Amino acid sequence: MSATNLNQPVWDFELEDPFTLRAARVGTRAGGTELGASLYELGAGAVASPFHFHHNNEELLIVLTGSPQLRVVDERRQLSAGDVVALLPGPEGAHRLENDGPESARVLIVSTMRFPDVVDHPDSDKILIVTGPPGRGGEALSFRRETEVHPLDRERDFAVVFERDLRAAEEADG
């Protein structure tokens, strides 16, 4: 059995411009195969992902520290440490987590691991297809909605596609 520590994580992804965002695949590091779990640390102004929803996976968001804001389909909710939110598959589960406060926030997102998964990004009119687990051979293929054949990105490193899509979404939000 493997183990990892939420208080002293090994970060798999770090972004420092224009804000600080770090992510650790703690589920994979703990040896998980059926459940994914990622720890996110969001600095002031950081977003954990573009506004999106999954077609094949459910997520559970657990706020560990800080007060991030959760954008869902028709509202924004200020969350605080201890809050737990289920994010269902499909358009009704669309969400975006951001840290609009001055202090860092840490959240744990646990998810089912059903592949392939289609992740819809309504704000940027893109679709992301994830063929398998990030970090374990899965690919992330990013398409514009009107594209049927040629992906924008074909990349084994999910973090690379994630960062590109995150930056594109930030530019689209203006």
Q: Is residue 4 part of a domain?
A: no
Could you read off the pLDDT of 48-79 as tens digits, one per residue?
999 999 999 999 999 999 999 999 999 999 99
Query: What average pLDDT does the segment 110-121 reach?
Result: 95
Supply the DSSP string of 122-140, one letter for each residue. TTTTEEEEE-S-TTTT--E
Query: What average pLDDT does the segment 92-117 reach?
Result: 96
What is the chain's mean pLDDT, rounded? 89
Whole-structure pTM over 0.85, yes or no?
A: no
Q: Is residue 157 part of a domain?
A: yes
Query: What average pLDDT does the segment 13-42 reach?
Result: 93
- CATH code where residue 92 lies: 2.60.120.10
Q: Which domain holds residue 77?
A: 13-173
Q: Which of 141, 148, 123, 119 is nearest to 53 (CA)?
A: 119
For residue 89, the number of C-alpha atoms closer than 13 Å in the C-beta half-sphere is 12
Q: Is residue 8 part of a domain?
A: no
Q: Are the C-beta atoms of residues 107 and 59 closer than 8 Å to each other?
A: no
* Helix/strand/coil (H/E/C) assignment for every residue in 14-35: EECCCCCEEEECHHHHCCCCCE
Q: Is residue 48 part of a domain?
A: yes
pLDDT of 166 reads 77
Q: Is residue 87 part of a domain?
A: yes
